[in-house]
Amino acid sequence: MKQIVFYGDSNTWGYNAENGGRFPLEERFTGILTARMTDCHICEEGLCGRTAVAEDDLGEMRSGQRYLAAILNTHDPIDLLVLMLGTNDTKPKFALRPAEIAYGVEELLRIVRSPLVWHGAKSPEVLLISPIEVGEQVCGTAMGGEFDLTAVERSRALAAELAPVAERYGCHFLDAAQVAHPCALDAVHLDREGHRRMADTLEPVIRAILAK
């Protein structure tokens, strides 16, 4: 059975903007894939507020860089790591340019490719996903206290910065902004339709990667 780990933020966790809770497993894209891909073991490692590398003074344990190696070791051996981070790094309080966010994601890939993580064994295949964009209406939503129009601009530039990073590290790449859009309620998170669209797109991509 193939082992797949999804490492991401609240959209991987399945945040539901309707009630501030979590979509049930059968409605999250990871859960939909679990039901369809019965020959795989899918591990959800989503955390609300997780960044690529930025340290958040208002949220402990949110740096994706700080905890990635431990999570990889926890689920080892891994056939495929699906990495989708960067949205929270666009927040104005971090003042990170898209190129700097991409550099942060590159730091994560360096950890994934490190022989120290895998004790000399082969590292897994990696699918790097550029996250969905932050909607321009975000300032008028509940997420307006954390995101602004600069975050919108940064999110729109992420795919162009992340694609060459994926190529340099031999990763597969997907631009989620071409697949789904943020919900109208908060302009940041996927809705049920977005989760379904992500699952529909990811299933053939993942199957093709694992077939190699």
Give the CA distances from residue 7 to residues 17, 63, 72, in Å, rounded to whole numbers and listed in that order.
20, 12, 10
Q: Could you tell me where the DSSP H helices lie in the chain?
A: 10-13, 29-36, 64-75, 98-112, 115-118, 149-168, 192-210
| pLDDT(119) > 90 | no
Which of 53-62, 114-123, 170-179 is the least confident region? 114-123
Distance, CA of 49 to CA of 40 (rounded, Å) = 27
Q: What is the pTM of this model?
A: 0.96
Handedness of CA 29, 167, 50, 139 (dihedral sign): negative
| pLDDT(33) > 70 | yes
Task: Look at residue 180 in the predicted model and tell me its pLDDT.
Answer: 98
Going by the DSSP 8-state scheme, the letter that residue 141 receives in this structure is S
| Average pLDDT over every residue of 96-104 | 98
Torsions phi, psi for 113 (to 5 deg): -85, 0
| Average pLDDT over every residue of 149-176 | 98
Reported confidence tier of residue 206, pLDDT bands at 50, 70, 90: very high
Task: Look at residue 120 in the predicted model and tell me its pLDDT.
Answer: 64
- For the chain, which domains are there? 2-210 (3.40.50.1110)
Task: Look at residue 115 in the predicted model and tell me its pLDDT.
Answer: 76
| Average pLDDT over every residue of 63-69 | 94
Task: Look at residue 48 in the predicted model and tell me its pLDDT.
Answer: 96
Token pair for 76: 């080892």
DSSP string, 150-208: HHHHHHHHHHHHHHHHHHHTT-EEEEGGGT----TTTSSS--HHHHHHHHHHHHHHHHH
Q: Which neighbouring-strand residues pair with 40? A: 2
Nearest C-alpha neighbor of 7 from the set 57, 69, 59, 60: 69
Distance, CA of 50 to CA of 108 (rounded, Å) = 13
